[in-house]
Structure 1
Amino acid sequence: MASMWSEYTIGGVKITFPYKAYPSQLAMMNSIVRGLNSKQHCLLESPTGSGKSVALLCSALAWQQSFNGKPVDKSLSKKAEEPLSCCCACHSKNFTNIDLKQGTSHHFNCPSTPPSERYGTSSTCQDSPEKTTLAAKLSAKKQASVKRDENDDFQVEKKRIRPLETTQQIRKRHCFEKEVRHLDAKVASGKTTKLNSPLGKINSFSPQNPPGHCSRCCCSTKQGNSQGYSNTTKKDHGGKSKIPKIYFGTRTHKQIAQITRELRRTAYSGVPMTILSSRDHTCVHPEVVGNFNRNEKCMELLDGKNGKSCYFYHGVHKISDQHTLQTLEGMCKAWDIEELVSLGKKLKACPYYTARELIEDAHIVFCPYNYLLDAQIRESMDINLKEQIVILDEAHNIEDCARESASYSVTEVQLWFARDELDTMVNNNIRKKDHEPLRAVCYSLINWLEANSEHLVERDYESSCKIWSGREMLLNLHKMGITTATFPILQGHFSSVLQKEEKVLPIHGREETREVPIISASTQIILKGLFMVFDYLFRQNSKFADDYKVAIQQTYSWINQTDSSDKNEFFAQAKSRKRVRQKTAVRMLNFWCLNPAVAFSDINGKVWTIVVTSGTLSPMKSFSSELGVTFSIQLEANHVINNSQVWVGTIGSGPKGRNLCATFQHTETFEFQDEVGALVLSVCQTVSQGILCFLPSYKLLEKLKERWLSTGLWHNLELVKTVIVEPPAGEKIDFDELLQMYYDAIKYKGEKDGALLVAVCRGKVSEGLDFSDDNARAVITIGIPFPNVKDLQVVLKRQYNDQHSKLRGLLPGRQWYEIQAYRALNQALGRCIRHKNDWGALILVDDRFSSNPAQYISGLSKWIRQQVQYHSTFESAMESLAEFSKKHRKVIDVSKEDRKFIQDSGSTLEVAGLKDNTLTYLSEAASHLPPENPREGEAKMCVPELHCPKITTSLSLPGDIISRKDQGLKSFAYLHLIENSFIISSEIIYILL
């Protein structure tokens, strides 16, 4: 049978692709394979809609497959397994058979293996009889836990008498529950535990060693466990280097969902994988889900406070290994976090901890990229990037993310809270020698804050600050007793107070264990943040001290006044009390990192390869200097569309001829606001279906909305289209629900012609969302979204770049400032034109684009820059836009009946003996097409050339042509017999009569 997949050999790596790759995709894959082969870093720009994600996935996974392509010496493998033989369930004959057939070893499929059978997932994906057999072979413990009563959400911790335990046993038993690695923990044999051993590998928790295994089995010992699961092992038991994991980071969880959908369409869909996420996205416990601070509530349940425990946590073993997960329905191919959450609810297994457990045997790990850059998150998630592959997709904001990851801010009130809690620990003689130094740190910082609050300089209305350099802050820390010599000691004290311990106490004549209290999660977060910054400041002889600025900021906010009590300490009666809001000063201590290379220093030089990619990286020269990474391989790929599919125009004046320059002075005037409103209304009347309008800030959005409501223009807009406004990030409005309203208004249009979505650059709408086809036939951008020039961090960053531009090759402050605006602008423009057959208009509203194109057009993406048209008047722009829209609308939209043309011809094909084979291949090919395949309602339906099985039955159709006439429309599908293979022509052509 001929394959429906395209195969390419690049750099000695055979890559299976779901369709014929575009030139830009081939260029991307070539760059990635080169980088992986030579362990060099890649900086790759490919326009949005050019199939970048598929190229990333296929090339990286194909290389990973080829890296481990050689089979393991069976004799060595068998010899390594012999000592593990015993009569327990995990080494019984049946269990071994499962592992051989469905297990996720480090071998990828051979290139000749059919895609549906790769990664050992064919049986479960195709619902073969073997599926039941595999499920039946699971241990009795797992089967019982799956069918357990679903109403048993809570499990009361029963008091029990237990024999005395050694300190090491107590600490080892609780190591996983509190997610703490003990540096001095030792096993009974006297051997020191590995510092880099992953969390969560306690034997009783691992599904590979369910309760009931015999004690004689070496898999239940630490030795056996470390041999099979150590993440730091360089070679497997076959003698080959262990394959590098792929850590695929992107900006948001919504983008991760899009990436996993792309992976599902590829031949690598069965790759062992996991998705890391926060408890906000994965927690399923009913008591925690509705809680504001889910992390603290989760830890309380794990600690068993109030006699309750998390039953979902205790059920993680049901699905916490790749083999078991892939035998379950719907999980044999690439899955999304929502599918894991749904499965966790069904089986009462915690998705949060399940995802973390799945890291060990995963070949690719998806997560937001701040999980990879933030040292605190890497530690809490137990992410070890040494010799691993790091892919950062949609990384146009990676510089900001890296700076934020190495920065930390804390309010004076938060420091008070931490100090008071540490006070309580010391006063109650709880680990006093460890808590006292930590309390001293909080006292010192609070005293320093209060002492300097009198010397703050006013910057703005009710806003003042004072700034120190990193070097100056080191001197201040030295006065507090925090130095290069004492800081490691403080870190040791902090590590000690986080260790969970139990004391055996005599109670009512019996010995029972009682937990030693530890500081709250909020205090832990404060101390971890401070210690992270201190670590960067002291590291390598204070190498990064010049990259920091420390600022005390004071602002004012209105807070509810606390209830006051009288002299007898009785609170006032409720009837006489009124809610009083009091204006209060809020002081914040900020440690701002101005150099993103600080965060990258933790991974640069340690990982195998870093791949940074996005559709809007230009100008690319800034990334190498800003991130401190040498990108030996760089690429600026072209777009896959034709020039005729996009209209790019600048408009410098409105319908009344007034100049439109969206600077702060102009946007404050009613004339500007009215002229922009009239322009948006004209575009809505000219272009049908969906239109996106992006503004530089929420402040301007609110001003325009208020003005348009008062003048009646908003009402006129609503007569033409359904108008939806993106809510600010802080508002508790369901963004997904608003987005669905927008999609529905376009899909089910009635009296109105589609919808208008008014959004903000750098907002949710502009970042990574897919508005293909009718969802975005035009994108309007008002002005240029420069960052707030008065923002203190922006001012300091510009000064920092000016200071270090010559020595470090950084861009001057002004250029850095302009680049931030253009990257945000390019992201907004990229919401339109999402695949090869898409079309749309990009409308740049601002006089500066036409008056000074050399300065303002040069910052646009390459594919946009090449097509810009300058319109001297508003009328000429609208005429050109109307002609463009009309030309593309001339092609009749494909109705549902027309789109089923080939399916309707099934009876004819069946006569020729072709229905089963041909239609199956057609539907499969369509399902594997990415966004490049037009959506419902698209005028032209393109299908890549499909090679079907050899046909022995001769065609009985006259002229080997199927034709159909329906309501003035003729459709032709050409069928060719070439070398005994049946090929459907690459296009179904619709011709107007």
Structure 2
Amino acid sequence: MSSDVSEYTIGGVKIIFPCKAYPSQLAMMNAIVRGLNNRQHCLLESPTGSGKSLALLCSALSWQQSLYEKSPLTSSCEKEDRKPETALPCRCTCHSEAERNEAATSVNHGASCSFNNYETGSSVKPGGPLTNTEYKENETLASKLSAKKKLSLRDNENDDFQVDRKRIRPLETEQQVRKRHCFAKGVQLVDAAEVYNQRKNGELVVHSEKSVKTTTFSPQTTSDPCTECSCSGKETGKDASNPKKKEKGDRPFIPKIFFGTRTHKQISQITRELKRTAYSTVPMTILSSRDHTCIHPVVSNSVSNRNEMCVELLEGKQGKSCLYYHGVHKLSEHHALQSAHGMYQAWDIEDLVSLGKRLRACAYFAARELMVGADIVFCPYNYLLDPQIRESMEINLKGQVVILDEAHNIEDCARESVSYGVTESQLRAAREELDFMVNNNIRQKDHEPLRAVCCSLTNWLRDSSSQLVERGYETSCKVWSGKEMITILHEMGITGITFPILQKHLAAVLEKEEKISVLGKEELIQIPVVSSATQIVLKGLFMVLLCLFKDNSRYADDYKVALQQTYAWVNENQLDVSDTSAFTRPKHKRSLRQKTVVHMLNFWCLNPAVAFSDLSDVRTIVLTSGTLSPMDSFSSELGVKFSIQLEANHVIRNSQVWVGTIGAGPNGRKLCATFQHTETFEFQDEVGALLLSVCQTVGQGILCFLPSYKLLDKLKDRWMHTGLWRNLELVKTVIAEPQGGAKSDFDELLKIYYDAIRCKGEKDGALLIAVCRGKVSEGLDFCDENARAVVTIGIPFPNVKDLQVGYQLKKLY
């Protein structure tokens, strides 16, 4: 961290900033602290490059630290809101010392640390990642199973597969009734001028950089006798059962900070910013998919079905299990040991995966385990909006702080998170599997109603397929409104009254163990459950049905249900039995391509407010981006009242950048990037000549964005045919963004781009031709010489002929 640290006091919160803050950063921190203190939602616009991520981290974490430092005495109304659903870790000295001793004795001493450790003077915050021994109710599936497996692993630990033993599942608590916040009337506008006036009036205190020492975030621990937990009481066991006494002894609920971004690349940038701050030692975790964190040699090399393969290994099917999953405790203990020695530092996904490979421990489940003791949780923001992902990741947002960075695409993500599509073949497969469960008398009373739902839907799909209207070549469809679909569901016996009963049946069939009485004693036995594919179908259907029936079908008009018919080519492998007998093997297989009809049932949500309705019990929602205006329409679309809004100015002067449109090329030909014009050779040649002129004029790095990969391929083919591509390569190193491909290949191309700019040779920098909304457009940092010019050709308009896009436009206009 830099030595020129600044300290600001905003709204009673001391904020340690790694440098002198810009006025826009002060305005943003002022708005965030005000929103957090008053439980208000914030809509903050700050241009790209103005340091909004640093302002977000420092203001939110310093506010959280101030709660740790405050007295535990709170008002009665705040106690009710802050009461945690699960017991929080004890903060007393005796317990923290016990945790250090336990972690020091149980950690794997042979493993070396792959993180950047720095000696700091910070004291560890009690209640870090490892609090499992004192708080069993906080333990999740991975930690319980890991503790059991740690003492009973087989001798052959080098084997990746072991016979699975009886699994211990945590008991699920019923979801509490959500409390809706009362929104304050009016909108508070915050700008840099207001911050200046506050500084002038003494409301905002700025300390000199010279007088501020480089400090790190360390919640205070004291050697005084324990007064914040029941360990100091005489009758601990009796007091634990008394809710009134327990409430008086517990410390106030400290909200977690859930920091959501659009991509994993952006998470890497945020964690790098966190390392710069004085808050780099706070307990944290990063939630991500198995695509980024799985280290199993077989599962990680799978192309498409990593989730299914992982579930099969966890279930212990065919006598196989995952050794890495059973080593989750190694990573947790490693982080606990680092915290105990004051060496904990912010980390990235790559750091966790690298450490997981060394310790032979699953990084995916370790990240979820670390969420229990984390103060800040980073994840893609669809993890916070999608109800199915929240349930699978065990994310509880009640009373927490949600920050969504780069939220200009949040409407699309919100609509997609509460939409669902299923094919007729998937429904039929689910029905057949449920039928098998019923016929074999496996939880028959629970499987039978679910089978009836699948049967009713498949029968309705078959009857409705004759009503489809042709829309294009080999495509036809029929669309129903949400209210029309509710009427159809009522005819199937699925109503607002019967649906909660169906939900209980679904929860019952997903339970893998069941209690039975044997000789007067209760024992847990394993019960077969449906496959993961059937579970995905049922959970997806029930998710959209819940949205349709929610609040007396309040959001029914926000849905469109479409039945679409298309054709697809399916490869079928058949044995070549032409030259075989009972004593010979078939020589080879024949692959036959067969054209089949595909019926897809889509539930399209057209209103992002449906997804945000689940976040009504969040303490504070902070949405930030460089482009949020107009804010009034943005707020109304999400159905959230943002009482605090900010439109910050950029930190650079207008004289330092030029923005404009070019209507004609070097040869005087008109440039109009509509679909009709981009197909002509005249446009392709003229825009190529313009790009060559820019490359000859501007040095170092240049970015060029096109509306689609299709246009990129057309321009590249044309320019290679005319020789223009060769002329571009004479001036700069030319790189085109690939469509698809492995992440390693894309990272290699970026390395070539950066190296060409840094290492000057015969060519002056590099040209990167990319696609809007592609891999390059978001989540990557092109600062300084990496992007001296940005050229955008055309606009990526949505396909207005697309059925779903058409209904979204009708909903808006």
Shorter-chain-normalised TM-score: which range?
Answer: 0.7 to 0.9
Where 1:580 maps in the other structure, the secondary structure is strand
Label 1:148 to 1:713 Cα distance change in 2 as closer, same or farther (>3 A).
farther
Q: Displacement, 1:715?
A: 2.1
Aligned residues: 701
CA contact (8 A) 1:218 1:224 kept: no
| 1:342-366 Cα distance to aligned partner (Å, 9 max, x none) | 2222223222222112222211111
Which residue is 1:57 aligned to?
A: 57
Q: Displacement, 1:398?
A: 0.5
| 1:479-538 Cα distance to aligned partner (Å, 9 max, x none) | 2221112211211111111111269999xxxxx997322111111111100000000101
Q: Displacement, 1:657?
A: 0.9
Q: Displacement, 1:226?
A: 13
Which residue is 1:360 aligned to?
A: 372
Label 1:158 to 1:258 Cα distance change in 2 as closer, same or farther (>3 A).
closer
Label 1:280 to 1:303 Cα distance change in 2 as closer, same or farther (>3 A).
same
Structure of larger gyration radius? 1
Alignment partners' CA distance in 1, 2:95 and 2:248: 21
Where 1:367 maps in the other structure, the secondary structure is strand
Which residue is 2:26 aligned to?
A: 26
Where 1:752 maps in the other structure, the secondary structure is coil
Indicate whether 1:698 and 2:727 are aligned.
no
| 1:306-363 Cα distance to aligned partner (Å, 9 max, x none) | 2222222222223336961534899601111221222222223222222112222211
| 1:103-140 Cα distance to aligned partner (Å, 9 max, x none) | xxxxxxxxxxx994345389x9xxxxxxxxxxxxxxxx
Q: Displacement, 1:561?
A: 3.4
Q: Displacement, 1:725?
A: 1.5
CA contact (8 A) 2:284 2:375 kept: yes
Within 5 Å, give how 1:891-902 maps onto structure 2.
none
Alignment partners' CA distance in 2, 1:278 and 1:234: 42
Q: Displacement, 1:478?
A: 1.4
CA contact (8 A) 1:320 1:357 kept: yes
Indicate whether 1:762 and 2:773 are aligned.
yes
| 1:617-640 Cα distance to aligned partner (Å, 9 max, x none) | 122222111100001111111111
Within 5 Å, give how 1:513-524 maps onto structure 2.
515-524=526-535
- Greater shift, 296-305 or 575-584, is seen at 575-584
Which residue is 1:154 aligned to?
A: 160
Q: Displacement, 1:195?
A: 11
Indicate whether 1:95 and 2:121 are aligned.
no
Structure 2: any 5+ residue segments left out of the alignment? 74-92, 105-117, 129-146, 179-229
Which residue is 2:169 aligned to?
A: 175
Where 1:117 maps in the other structure, the secondary structure is coil
Alignment partners' CA distance in 2, 1:499 and 1:286: 29
Which residue is 2:286 aligned to?
A: 275
Which residue is 2:330 aligned to?
A: 318
Q: Displacement, 1:654?
A: 1.0
Alignment partners' CA distance in 1, 2:244 and 2:379: 23
Which residue is 1:120 aligned to?
A: 124
Within 5 Å, give how 1:835-874 maps onto structure 2.
none
Which residue is 2:550 aligned to?
A: 539
Alignment partners' CA distance in 2, 1:93 and 1:547: 51
Q: 1:709 aligns with which of 711, 720, 726?
A: 720
Indicate whether 1:635 and 2:668 are aligned.
no
Q: 2:596 aligns with which of 574, 581, 584?
A: 584
Where 1:396 maps in the other structure, the secondary structure is helix
1:407 partner letter: S
CA contact (8 A) 2:119 2:342 kept: no
Q: Displacement, 1:733?
A: 7.5
Structure ranking higher on relative contact order (CA contacts 8 Å, 6+ apart):
2
Which residue is 1:687 aligned to?
A: 698
- Greater shift, 562-571 or 268-277, is seen at 562-571
| 1:158-178 Cα distance to aligned partner (Å, 9 max, x none) | 88xxxxxxxxxx9xx6314xx
Indicate whether 1:414 and 2:426 are aligned.
yes
Q: 2:689 aligns with which of 665, 674, 678?
A: 678
Q: Displacement, 1:783?
A: 1.5
CA contact (8 A) 2:573 2:590 kept: no
Which residue is 1:77 aligned to?
A: none
Indicate whether 1:255 and 2:255 are aligned.
no
Structure 1: any 5+ residue segments left out of the alignment? 74-89, 102-113, 125-140, 160-169, 184-192, 197-216, 507-511, 803-993
Which residue is 2:487 aligned to?
A: 475
Q: Displacement, 1:151?
A: 4.9
Alignment partners' CA distance in 1, 2:394 and 2:294: 19
Which residue is 1:956 aligned to?
A: none
- Greater shift, 3-12 or 43-52, is seen at 3-12
Which residue is 1:400 aligned to?
A: 412
Alignment partners' CA distance in 1, 2:549 and 2:266: 36
2:547 partner letter: Y
| 1:397-445 Cα distance to aligned partner (Å, 9 max, x none) | 1010000011001112221221222222222222222222212222221
1:95 partner letter: A
Q: 1:484 aligns with which of 496, 499, 524?
A: 496
CA contact (8 A) 1:321 1:357 kept: no
Within 5 Å, give how 1:351-500 maps onto structure 2.
351-500=363-512
User: What CA RMSD, in Å, does the superposition of the two structures yield over aligned residues?
Assistant: 3.9
Label 1:240 to 1:260 Cα distance change in 2 as closer, same or farther (>3 A).
same
CA contact (8 A) 1:6 1:18 kept: yes
Label 1:300 to 1:488 Cα distance change in 2 as closer, same or farther (>3 A).
same
| 1:758-813 Cα distance to aligned partner (Å, 9 max, x none) | 111111211121011221111100022221221222110111122xxxxxxxxxxx
1:398 partner letter: I
CA contact (8 A) 1:726 1:758 kept: yes
Which residue is 1:35 aligned to?
A: 35
Where 1:287 maps in the other structure, the secondary structure is coil
Indicate whether 1:241 and 2:252 are aligned.
yes
CA contact (8 A) 1:115 1:267 kept: no
Where 1:563 maps in the other structure, the secondary structure is strand
CA contact (8 A) 2:281 2:344 kept: yes
Q: Displacement, 1:711?
A: 2.0
| 1:343-402 Cα distance to aligned partner (Å, 9 max, x none) | 222223222222112222211111111111111111111111111111000111101000
Within 5 Å, give how 1:618-657 maps onto structure 2.
618-657=629-668
Label 1:477 to 1:218 Cα distance change in 2 as closer, same or farther (>3 A).
farther
1:67 partner letter: L
Indicate whether 1:332 and 2:332 are aligned.
no
2:569 partner letter: W
Alignment partners' CA distance in 1, 2:293 and 2:540: 24
CA contact (8 A) 1:153 1:312 kept: no
Label 1:93 to 1:795 Cα distance change in 2 as closer, same or farther (>3 A).
closer
Where 2:591 maps in the other structure, the secondary structure is coil
Q: Displacement, 1:716?
A: 2.0
1:308 partner letter: K
| 1:623-682 Cα distance to aligned partner (Å, 9 max, x none) | 111100001111111111122321223211112111111111111111111111111111
Alignment partners' CA distance in 2, 1:453 and 1:400: 29
Q: Displacement, 1:97?
A: 6.9
Q: Displacement, 1:9?
A: 0.8
1:711 partner letter: T
Q: Displacement, 1:699?
A: 2.0
Alignment partners' CA distance in 2, 1:530 and 1:147: 40
Label 1:591 to 1:618 Cα distance change in 2 as closer, same or farther (>3 A).
same
CA contact (8 A) 2:124 2:340 kept: no
TM-score by length of 1: 0.65
TM-score by length of 2: 0.79
Label 1:96 to 1:452 Cα distance change in 2 as closer, same or farther (>3 A).
closer
Label 1:225 to 1:234 Cα distance change in 2 as closer, same or farther (>3 A).
closer
| Identical-pair percentage | 67
Alignment partners' CA distance in 1, 2:33 and 2:24: 14
Where 1:383 maps in the other structure, the secondary structure is coil
2:28 partner letter: M
Which residue is 1:70 aligned to?
A: 70
Which residue is 1:530 aligned to?
A: 541
CA contact (8 A) 1:464 1:555 kept: yes
CA contact (8 A) 1:244 1:389 kept: yes
